[in-house]
Structure 1
């Protein structure tokens, strides 16, 4: 009796395994498999690439994790299920391709409006960042992906006017068209479209347009739905509305490199529920006593104030920001010691204080920071001995 039960269980197990195998084989839809293969064949693989993904992270002081590039499409094979291909994700019930992540895949070539990419009509997430599509105008066909929630075409060397259809995608949550090198993208955006994007983003949460020459002001009524706003090196002008610091959902604000943008902080108490944790105002027109104005940012973890005209000792206010993980104060006029930083800001992983006028002993308190990954104190007047436990 026991052996019969065992045999029955084994038969059930074999049936389940075969069912899973059959369903997995049936997942991939043939028309989408052919579209992906045609898309693969339309590009060359760059065998000696400039690694945009690694370098862009260095450019941003490694705020985000580093991603190495490798050619994902080389493993695609017509004899295998496309839902199992590297970078491809399918809907388990329909077999339709819903996600395509070919970021940092060393693709070199052009994408035009006739590309088979646009046959993948059920895409919800599309990431082509860090490839080289030189000579490609950004196609209006990207605006036909009506199910799209995430679109990332950053650092992909696309050019031309950003089609309005993309900005009107009904389900879009995250839009990244930026250039991580900050060397001014070949993409363009109309002033009215930029205003629309920031003011009417009821669904959109993340907007990244780094390096795109916008030549505009930032509107006062930015959508309260936005969680990430990254506009570094976009040639913004005028004053940053202080109302932006009252946005309840804003977590990341990057405005670095906008030398004609004047920063304005609220004259009244900031929103006590402010969740801002990433803030980079480096190389903008910062207000006097900017650090003292940051005392409401109790949750900030990444703070960039490079070339903001800071003077004197590192303010006590900085020491109150005990959640800091990365602090960039390079290229200012700081003079005093900074030993207390290593006592109170023990969570620091990255500290950049280069190109200041700091005259001090190298602090022994640096040994308090056990997670330190990057430290730049160059072009100061430090003396003394570097503790051996610091590295």
Structure 2
């Protein structure tokens, strides 16, 4: 007997048994048998077939009912929802009469394993989001066609394996995120372009490899695409994104990609980028199309192969909105600007020109070939929002470095 008696759990199990019928055709496994036949009032419920209790608390913590020849409907009044201490639940390979997947399953705070395969539930759920659950391991479930799912949010779980092909059947899918703690492998499938209702697609921080599929360009409603920190490789023609007029956030950084730009369409860019991550994308020059854009809040061009002067437009195009600007780990020598009267180029670095960025909070110029000794006056302004200024590993004059260090210490 359990150390603590929870007799109500035995009654709940018996009620669950009585709410269903046994039908040998309800399970496909040739070794299936009715496990609930051993559930009788004469015996300890923790010894019943498929039932596991915690040795200390006596609570039921696991129900393995797979292949139990169970048939019938399950709803919110079913006694199954009373087992709030459940850690593992497996009702696979039964026939639950196309019952709706219970929303109460999301209220089981300790649930780490759930198997609903081949159980004839109906996938009417519109949101499936077990995010922020690093104890949730295993593989992605398979999905059937005509599912009304609109959101798949598996961020910060511990899923592994490949993205199942059955997802392409989710015609209503709008939001798809598998970012951060997951370990998904394989390539981004080409059928991703068939999910034309997608507005958000986030694959960040996985182990996906191979090329960025051209079919992504068919996602005309996409607002956010984040492929940050994977093992993607190959060449990406950036123009595939320029016709996506709703695309505001794009993250290609942290991969092994080579991004190329074609200048001829720069003036007809339709989308309005707000967040653009192109760190370590083997860029050899500044993306010219940005000179026609405004409203950018986050721009990361660090870790590339950009030589020469920083163009003046990078300071003017988003002066009111730019909060994060990273140009680190390139081969930049100065800022291109024009003196009054003769329009001569000047290489004076960190001039007052960047002080026009009124929302700037982070500026990273580190590991370049920048030189100069003039301190921008706006760094001394008490209302300046800039909280991170990284200029190390350049060729600045000693007095400037000392002043910058003192300023940082004062903050």
Using the size of structure 2 for normalisation, the TM-score is: 0.62
Do structure 1's residue 41 and structure 2's residue 120 form an aligned pair? no
Between the aligned partners of 1:152 and 1:339, the Cα distance in structure 2 is: 45
Name the CA distance, whole Å, in 2 between partners of 1:101 and 1:326: 37
Which ranges in structure 1 are unaligned for 5 or more consecutive residues? 1-28, 44-95
Q: 2:314 aligns with which of 307, 318, 323?
A: 318
CA deviations 1:157-214 (Å, max 9, x no partner) are 2012222222322321110113x36xxx5323456xx2211x2232111111123423
Alignment partners' CA distance in 1, 2:109 and 2:304: 37
* Aligned equivalent of 1:377: 391
**Residue 76 of structure 2 corresponds to residue 31 of structure 1:** yes
**Partner residue, 1:230:** 226
2:139 equivalent in structure 1: 137
Aligned match for 1:252, one of 222, 245, 249: 249
Deviation at 1:330, TM superposition (A): 1.7
Partner of 2:203: 209
**Structure with larger Rg:** 2
Task: Report matched runs for 1:89-104 at 5 Å.
Answer: none
Q: CA deviation at 1:100?
A: 9.2
Question: Kindly tell me: are residues 335 and 126 of structure 1, through their superposed partners in 2, closer, same or farther at Cα, counting changes over 3 Å?
Answer: same
Task: Measure, in 1, the Cα distance between the counterparts of 2:111 and 2:367.
Answer: 39
User: Is residue 123–residue 149 contact of structure 2 (8 Å, CA) maintained in 1?
Assistant: no
Aligned to 1:196: 191
CA drift at 1:231: 1.5
CA deviation vs aligned residue, 1:21-49 (integer Å, no higher than 9, x gap): xxxxxxxx962896666576217xxxxxx
Tell me how far apart the structure 2 counterparts of residues 265 and 187 of structure 1 sit (CA, whole Å).
32
State how 1:104-119 maps to structure 2 within 5 Å.
109-113=112-116
Note the C-alpha offset of 1:224: 1.5
The equivalences for 1:1-391 within 5 A come to 31=76, 41-42=86-87, 109-113=112-116, 122-133=124-135, 135-140=137-142, 146-178=147-179, 180=180, 186-189=183-186, 194-197=189-192, 199-210=193-204, 211-219=206-214, 221-232=217-228, 233-286=230-283, 288-321=284-317, 322=319, 323-336=321-334, 337-361=349-373, 362-368=375-381, 370-380=384-394, 381=396, 382-386=400-404, 387=407, 391=411
In 2, distance between residues paired with 1:238 and 1:388?
A: 40
- Residues 153 and 223 of structure 1: CA distance in aligned 2, closer, same or farther (over 3 Å): same
How far apart, in 2, do the equivalents of 1:257 and 1:115 lie? 39
Secondary structure of the structure 2 residue equivalent to 1:351 = strand
The answer to whether the 8 Å contact 1:39/1:115 transfers is no
For residues 304 and 207 of structure 1, the distance between their equivalents in structure 2, rounded to whole angstroms, comes to 20
Determine the C-alpha separation between the residues in 2 that align with 1:122 and 1:326: 41
Q: Give ranges in structure 2 of 5+ residues lacking alignment.
A: 1-73, 89-100, 335-348
User: Which residue does the alignment assign to 1:6?
Assistant: none
Q: Do 1:140 and 1:165's aligned partners in 2 also have CA atoms closer than 8 Å?
A: yes
Report Cα offsets for 1:336-389 as digits up to 9, x if no partner.
322335421111122222222333444332245633343333333452424489
CA distance in structure 1 between the partners assigned to 2:80 and 2:146 by the alignment = 15
Aligned CA-pair RMSD: 3.8
In 1, are the aligned partners of 2:187 and 2:208 still within 8 Å (CA)? Answer: no
CA distance in 2, matches of 1:115, 1:225: 34
Whose helix proportion is higher, 1 or 2?
1
Contact 1:292 1:315 in 2 (8 A): no
- How many residues of Structure 1 are paired with residues of Structure 2 in the alignment? 300
Structure 1 residues 234 and 266: CA distance shift in structure 2, 3 A: farther
- Partner of 1:132: helix, strand, or coil? strand
Task: Give the Cα separation in 2 of the matches to 1:100 and 1:348.
Answer: 45
